[in-house]
Amino acid sequence: MINLTLLKRKFRKDNPRWVILMIDLFIVFACYAISNFIFNSIHEEYSTAMMLKKSLLVIFAYSIAFAIMRTYKGIIRQTGINDATKIFKTVWLAFMILAIPTIAIRYYIPKESVSGDFLRLSYIILFMHSFFTMVMLVAARVTYRSIYEMLFLPNRKNRNILIFGASRPGLVAYSLLREDRRVKNNVVAFVEDKVSRVGKRITGLRILYLEKIDQAYIDQFNISEVIIAVENNDPERLVQVTDHFHQLDLELKIMPNSRVMLNSGAKREIRPLKIEDLLGRKAIKIENPAIDGELDNKVIVITGAAGSIGGELARQISQRNYRHLILLDQAESPLYDLQQSLKATHPDRVKCIVGDVRDKLFLERIFKRYRPQMIFHAAAYKHVPLMEQNPYEAIWTNLIGSKNMADLSVAYGIQKFVMVSTDKAVNPTNVMGATKRAAEIYVNSCSSLGKTNFIVTRFGNVLGSNGSVIPLFEKQMEQGGPLTLTHEDITRYFMTIPEACLLVQEAGVMGHGGEIFVFDMGKSVKIIDLAKRMIKLKGYRYPEDIDIKIVGLRPGEKIFEELLANDENTQKTHHPKIMIAQVNREDIEEKCQLIEQLSRDITSIDKEEINDMQLVLQLKRIVPEFKSQNSIFQDLDEHLAEKNSAEA
């Protein structure tokens, strides 16, 4: 009686590689003996003694092929299509090792000689043996794997799956599914939205048209999941595809395309579909070799390095050939996390410094010690409602902090200063946006003061950044909902963090001073639609499982964001998706004087005497287009309007 426990122990154990090699060589010998017997018995010339002698040559040749191809090194219980391909190559390598000398022997050595008779191999037997050996080596591994799965994975879940994408990524997804040990994946068919591919077959499976996949088909084959595997993950196309499958209550997953895996270092894996996959537009490619040249051997400072943009900038720039990278932020813990992530590969050239851009004396010590040549200024407060309640902090960090960095850049002759701004600086309706617009004005004005090129980049919301709407919705869903939305018509532009950081670097190359670069961000996204998609992606139903609650606009919040002010136009650049805003520069000297006055006031003010109304009034004089919405500062707009009317 078979001892099942002992058998399981044997199968679970990884046997020594020489044992696998010996088993493979035995299969080679057995297949040669069978091939020899079948062929020579027909011709009544079978000789066991001669077969054994010639088998030594065959085993020797296969030993060489096994050593070269290392087929015995694989873990047999994890045999897949790649192992079968390697066996195919190994067998035909051994065939050539035997066949080529045989041709020479048949030509030069007489058949009657003892050596000629021993070394002369039959082409037919060699070919027959190669075929049998290839089949048996694969069969042995498949049998071993099947027994292993029967013993250790008897209760594996069966899952019927569709793959959307009948091309190379679809084949890669098919291979990954077949290699999954935890679940027995049964791919029923491939699905396409391109009519030219429909009706054909791939890996023996039919390619079906997307519109033909309905509830009846899903029920017939008990489909539970769809894998999206296409080379061009166009968000607009993905939205159409996911909408179709969501109506059928199917779980959706995606495999990143080869470009994404190459650029981001992502693993070749199938992962759940994320809302980021469905937003915005086609990814904007920025592949400018001049970026490397611009940053080559430079001392670079990144402020706000612990934030979403600053952190990604640090990671991207750390892959380039800089001299030193100085990472500055007041947030100790996230800066420490960034330091640890870069420490292993860049221990000497990256310096993390805890400090505040509002402290000009501290900043001057940094400039004196490291003599930076390029500044990426990303430090800022960004949360609209919080800054509406704390205008003193917003002005000091966003405006005065930027002014400090700009002034020192002029004083120390920095080559380029690139400021990260926001679409909320356009026709601002809140304190945060107004402080960023005032910072844009001041930074732009510095271009005429020295040799430093001052450049501004302006873009919209960044997907997945700290405090953005997507992480908020995810937390609310974890708590059972509802998702809170400020207005049912609210829309936003979105871009990915890597795209934003590439834009900032591209601006650093492209800019010559005084420009504001804006990004063609495609269509704005309606946030209520985004919320509904997130609910579906998490497997919930709206509004049965998770509802959406309208809570009203927050102080200073816009319904629609803009990338250009009313009096701004754009100028094209060499990149079709990057433009230069033609900014109104009227009264810029007067505005800079007002900024200087505000700077003196805010740095000398007694904190117990802070008057938010007075500070915001000064800010409105600097940024006349700043009109507060849903805010206590709306009264100031009426006051200024009356004053201007009286002066007129």
Active-site residue list: 424
Give SS3 for 368: helix
Residue owning tokens 């004087």:
593
> Can you list the positions of beta strands (E) in 140-248?
157-164, 183-192, 201-202, 205-209, 223-228
Beta-carbon-side half-sphere exposure of residue 35 (alpha carbons within 13 Å): 25
CB contact at 8 A, 310 and 339: no
Bridging pattern class, strands 350-354 and 416-422? unpaired
Report which of 513, 484, 487, 530 is spatially closest to residue 418, judged by C-alpha positions: 513
Answer for the pair 177, 201: CB distance below 8 angstroms, yes or no: no
3-state helix, strand, coil in the chain (%, to 5): 55, 15, 30
How long, in residues, is the chain?
648
| 8 A C-beta contact, residue 456 and residue 419 | yes
Residue of 360, 372, 433, 362 lying closest to 402 (CA atoms): 360
φ, ψ for residue 300, nearest 5 deg: -120, 135
Spell out where 585-646 has E strands.
Answer: none
Q: What number of CA atoms fall less than 13 Å from residue 157's CA on the CB side?
A: 8
Residue 368 to residue 412: CA distance in whole angstroms: 8
Which is it for the CA torsion 274, 276, 281, 285, positive or negative?
Answer: negative
On whether the CB atoms of residues 483 and 546 are closer than 8 A, the answer is yes
Kind of pairing, strands 494-495 and 416-422? unpaired
According to DSSP, residue 208 is labeled E
Burial category of 126 from C-beta neighbours within 10 Å (exposed 0-12, middle 13-18, buried 19 and up): buried
Q: What is the DSSP letter of 396?
A: I
Cis peptide before 372 (omega within 30 of 0): no
Rounded CA-CA distance 169/208 in Å is 17
- Beta 201-202 vs 416-422: how paired, if at all? unpaired
Rg (CA), the chain: 34
Largest CA distance in the chain: 124
End-to-end Cα, the chain, rounded Å: 108
- What is the rounded CA–CA span in Å between residue 637 and residue 614? 12
Tell me which residue has tokens 């002029």.
Answer: 410
Could you tell me which residues come within 8 angstroms of residue 159 by beta carbon, excluding any fewer than 6 positions away? Answer: 183, 184, 185, 186, 224, 225
Cis peptide leading into 347, omega within 30 of 0?
A: no
Q: Spell out the SS3 assignment of 428-439.
A: CCCHHHHHHHHH
The phi and psi torsions of 452 (rounded to 5 degrees) equal -75, 135
Return the bridge partners of 190, or none.
Answer: 163, 207
